[in-house]
Structures are given as C-alpha cells and as structure tokens.
Amino acid sequence: MPVLRSGSPHRRSRSLATAAGILLAILSLLLGLPGTAGAAATTYAPEPTHPGQDWAGSQIAAHEGGSSTAPDGTPPPSAVAASVEGVDVSGHQGNVAWSTLWNSGVRFAYVKATESTSYTNPSFAQQYNGSYNIGMIRGAYHFATPNTSSGAAQANYFVDHGGGWSRDGKTLPGALDMEYNPYGATCYGLSATGLVNWMKDWFATYKARTGRDAVIYTSTSWWKQCTGNYAGFGSINPLWVPRYGSSVGELPGGWGFHTIWQYTSTGPTVGDHNRFNGAMDRLQALANG
C-alpha cells in the first residue's frame, strides 16, 4: 500500500501557483495589462505656455481663411426665418463694451473660461458677468488640448473655473472648442479614435458634473481631417460651427443642422460674431435645458 507523504499536494499547488504567477507577470509586461506593474501609463505633452495672444478663436481664420462681413460691417443675409445675434470673446479682448454690443442687437455671448488644465481667462469675470448684467444669455467654453491631459481632467478644470451651468434662463450649456492645435501637430498627435475617445471622456464628465450635454465648436475641415468625420455626437451635442463665408456650408459628420454659426472673425466691436439658428424662445429653451 503506498504511503501518502504529508503536505506533498500543497507543495505541488505552491509550485503551480508560483509558475502561474511568473507567467502572469511576463504576460503583464508584454501586454501592459491594466492594474499590473507592467501597465503603460498615458504620456501627455507638457502644458502649453499660453503666449500673450489668446489663441482660442484665431485658428479657424488662420487655417481656413475667409470673412463674411461686407466692407461696411454688414453680416450676410440670414438663411433662416429667425435668428439671434451673438458674439464670443476670450482674454484677447480684455474688457468688453457690452452696452455697445447690446445696442447693436447682440443678445447672447460665449466666453472662454479655460484651456487645458493650466490656463484661465484673466478677463473672465468682466466678460461673463458683464454680458449677463446687460441682459444677454451667456455661456462659457473650454479650449481643448487633448495631448496635455485627459478629457475628464480638462472637463473638471473647466467646471471648477467658470464652466458650470444653472437653470436660471440666462446660462447656456458649456461648450468644448475642438480645433486646430496652435502649439503643434494639427490633430494633437492623436489618432481619430484617440480624439473621439478623449471627447467622449470630456462630455461624460461635464454631464456628470452639470446635468447638461455640452455644445461642441468645430469646423468641418478639421473634423474630417482629425476624427475621420465621426458621426456619433450629432444626435446629442449641439453644433457650433465656424464658417467665414456667405453661408454655413457643409456640416461635420452626424449633424443634420447647426445650432450656432460663427460667420465672421472680423465683426464690429469684437471680431467673432455668431448667429443662433432659431428665434429667441429657442435660445432660451437651450439655456433652460
């Protein structure tokens, strides 16, 4: 009758466990499994230095050209039965003459709040509160740099520095400015899938913080080049499209209509002028959610 050696099954189990552990460690190093010592961390570019010129809003004209205002400053004829005139501003404008804009018929404004996770607009309070106090419906926007930090990090930074939303009838949902990189590679060195996933992260975080789906500012040319004309945001996120010509033209993939058209970068008082695609009650509905 064979003699059973006490503990030998346990020694075999320990040996198998050790071998399995070594194999898992090797696989982790090769594959970069999440949560393991071999996982590869996302590498981001250094934060931009934010030169004296505030970049946001300037890249479309530089890359795509055009201006739709006549020599006397007259905007192109509206293509819809009703529209609302608006502007967008950033730190480049400094203190804005809101009463002048109001008297010229401007009724809404978007104000740059943040860029990446290292820049806040030094004129934000005057611009955001000033437009509100004169009677305009206003909102804030964030200039994205997807190569410097995650979408979630930048959405949180935006909300924490002026990009929130309240149901007061005077505040538009936040906007994400996705456009040409002023600091380097046009598409931020990311693949189309990488950029789309970054935006999904940003939008999900913003909605979790505010309860609103954000507006997206982007040009058709940049969108085609950098996202492969991705069509997945069109049914959810309102489109704010820049096109400096006589009409809004072709829209990015997924959108059947635009919500806001930035029709010039050389308008009166401040350069960037916009039209909301609808009457004032529709603009108020967007503000109210």
Answer yes or no: 272 catalytic.
no
**Catalytically annotated residue among 179, 213, 250, 281:** 179
* CA atoms of 181 and 50, how far apart (whole Å): 12
**Catalytically annotated residue among 85, 88, 115, 272:** 88
pLDDT for the residue numbered 77:
54
- Per DSSP, the three-state class of 166 is coil
Answer yes or no: 179 catalytic.
yes
pLDDT along the chain (289 residues), means of 10: 36 44 46 38 73 56 60 52 92 95 98 95 97 98 96 98 96 97 94 98 98 98 98 98 92 98 94 96 96
Answer yes or no: 160 catalytic.
no
pLDDT for the residue numbered 49:
66
pLDDT for the residue numbered 64:
73
Tokens representing residue 35 in the block:
């949560």
DSSP string, 209-227: HHSSPPEEE--HHHHHHHH
pLDDT for the residue numbered 109:
98
Identify which of 149, 140, 128 has the alpha carbon closest to the alpha carbon of residue 47. 149
In DSSP terms, which residues pair with 184 in a beta bridge? none
**Catalytically annotated residue among 54, 85, 115, 177:** 177
pLDDT for the residue numbered 17:
45
What is the third-level CATH fold of 59-288? TIM Barrel (3.20.20)
* Sequence spans of domains, the chain: 7-41, 59-288
In DSSP terms, which residues pair with 115 in a beta bridge? 119, 143
